Chains A and B, each alone.
Chain A
């Protein structure tokens, strides 16, 4: 896969805690991803529309409001409406263990709780696309030397 992997980091819902999302965005950038960060208070429609326009490979959702059971499946639904079925959707934030199976059934590939290392998230994305973390760090096109 020579293509740069593009990741959308978004915060659905109304809570104003974007520190986690920013930490993840920064960590993914440092790992070599192209990260599009859209900020706070995003509706599922806004997130899906941004994912479409930016042609991202991954959508990362950060949610701490407790509304994950309604909002996260709706993001997946909006993505599917736009035929973005091949986008990897992952989530992080305050999400109780018992909610995880239902979220996975709804199309969220993985849920990362508090305390997850950013390396674990990078590894998960890399495994999904069948590449190693070193493959991410290709800096531009070489000048044939």
Chain B
């Protein structure tokens, strides 16, 4: 325990090696991670967390690099978490996001950490949140979390953010995929990157029409104005802006930063920020409690009895709900 205290203090004083080791411990999970998490928790809640997600090749890392440079010019410190999938077969992972972050990688005001999803979904979301909190606790002012936007994992991680940016690019042909995966709903800001490429206008148009599905529309019907209620937006008072950027040249980056600031201000003024923080921490509490309760059940019931129940389930002798009742007896 005193070792962990020393590790945390050294990380807070700016020792990057201590911070790197601390992040590894948190990622490992278990008792040490729980103790560390408890140590740093009182120091969290200051950073603005930005989630960046979008399909492979849309330019997430490049845009993140451009944003980081701009924040550094304003003197803000930036922590970056880049998440890539682990192979479900070997547990190995190839993490390549640093390639596009070369010009900020050596900056002492920037800390970049690559993270693999490591199998379990809930586990990753938890580890990522612990790492966000650690970067927050040691004083990084902006924290950016980059994930490949393809499904539920990314949605979970993105929801750990205060402001979620969803990136699309022309020519990837996956606007419909994004809608299927529920990616657009989580966007606070939409970005069409590579806006200098052919097809950018079409991508922009598709996003605009998709977004307008969630807004009430007024049409003329037999000469009378009729309001068609759209799909109810989960965020009252905020319409996600759609911006165009060329991350490589930096075009549109300052507009994106302004949109981020507007969203940050909206979060505070509308009370949505407080509501999100509340929802987020309550969800985390529930997830952690579920996990601990399950561990306790396993411990009390014993592995043999658990295996026995699984055997009975497989033979269709009992059903799942009955099995749960027996576990909780």
A135 to chain B, nearest CB (A): 11
Q: Is A143 an interface residue (CB 8 A)?
A: yes
Which one, B95, B298, B310, contacts A35 given CB within 8 A? B95
Q: Is the CB of B21 within 8 A of A55?
A: yes
Q: Is the CB of B28 within 8 A of A3?
A: yes
Q: Is the CB of B106 within 8 A of A29?
A: no
The segment from B41-49, B83-91, B182-190 found at the interface with A is B83-91
Q: Is B98 an interface residue (CB 8 A)?
A: yes
Q: Which residue of A lies closest to B99 (CB)?
A: A39
For window 98-145 of B, CB contacts with A under 8 Å fall at 98-99, 102, 105-106, 111-114, 116, 118-120, 123
Q: Is the CB of A33 within 8 A of B17?
A: no
- The winner among B16, B92, B306 for most chain A CB atoms within 10 A is B92
Tally of chain B residues near chain A (CB < 8 A):
39
Q: Is B20 an interface residue (CB 8 A)?
A: yes
Q: Is the CB of B295 within 8 A of A34?
A: no
5 A-B Cβ contacts within 8 A? A25-B94, A45-B106, A46-B105, A137-B92, A140-B118
CA distance A21 to B187 in the complex (A): 36
Q: Which residues of chain A are near B20, meaning CB under 8 Å?
A: 52-55
Q: Is B231 an interface residue (CB 8 A)?
A: no
Q: Is the CB of B23 within 8 A of A34?
A: no
B328 to chain A, nearest CB (A): 16
Q: Is the CB of A37 within 8 A of B94?
A: yes
CA distance A51 to B120 in the complex (A): 26
Q: Which 6 A-B pairs have the closest CB atoms?
A: A140-B119, A39-B99, A55-B20, A29-B92, A139-B91, A140-B120
Q: Is the CB of A26 within 8 A of B94?
A: yes
Q: Is the CB of A29 within 8 A of B87?
A: yes
Q: Is the CB of B119 within 8 A of A141?
A: yes
The tally of CB-CB contacts under 8 A between chains A and B is 110
Q: Is the CB of B102 within 8 A of A36?
A: no
Contact string, A14-55, partner B, CB cutoff 8 A, digits 1/0? 000000000001101111111111110000011001101111
Q: Is A4 an interface residue (CB 8 A)?
A: yes
Which one, A26, A46, A54, A144, contacts B114 given CB within 8 A? A54
Tally of chain A residues near chain B (CB < 8 A):
37
CA distance A50 to B112 in the complex (A): 8
Q: Which residues of B contact A (CB under 8 A)?
A: 16-17, 20-21, 23-24, 28-29, 86-96, 98-99, 102, 105-106, 111-114, 116, 118-120, 123, 294-295, 298, 306-307, 310
Q: Is the CB of A139 within 8 A of B98?
A: no
Q: Which residues of chain B are near A83, meaning CB under 8 Å?
A: 17
Which one, B90, B111, B294, B307, contacts A53 given CB within 8 A? B111
Q: Is the CB of A54 within 8 A of B113?
A: yes
CA distance A48 to B295 in the complex (A): 40
Q: Is the CB of B123 within 8 A of A140?
A: yes
Q: Is the CB of A141 within 8 A of B123?
A: yes
Knowing that A34-B116, A140-B120 touch, tell me 17 more A-B residue pairs with CB under 8 angstroms.
Answer: A2-B28, A4-B91, A29-B90, A30-B90, A31-B92, A35-B92, A35-B95, A36-B114, A39-B96, A50-B112, A82-B16, A136-B92, A139-B88, A141-B29, A141-B118, A141-B120, A145-B306
Q: Which residues of chain A are near B116, meaning CB under 8 Å?
A: 4, 34
B156 to chain A, nearest CB (A): 15
A116 to chain B, nearest CB (A): 19
Q: Which residues of chain A are near B294, meaning CB under 8 Å?
A: 144
For window 94-145 of A, CB contacts with B under 8 Å fall at 136-141, 143-145
Q: Is the CB of A49 within 8 A of B106?
A: yes
Q: Is the CB of A31 within 8 A of B24?
A: no
Q: Is the CB of B120 within 8 A of A30?
A: no
CA distance A49 to B102 in the complex (A): 11
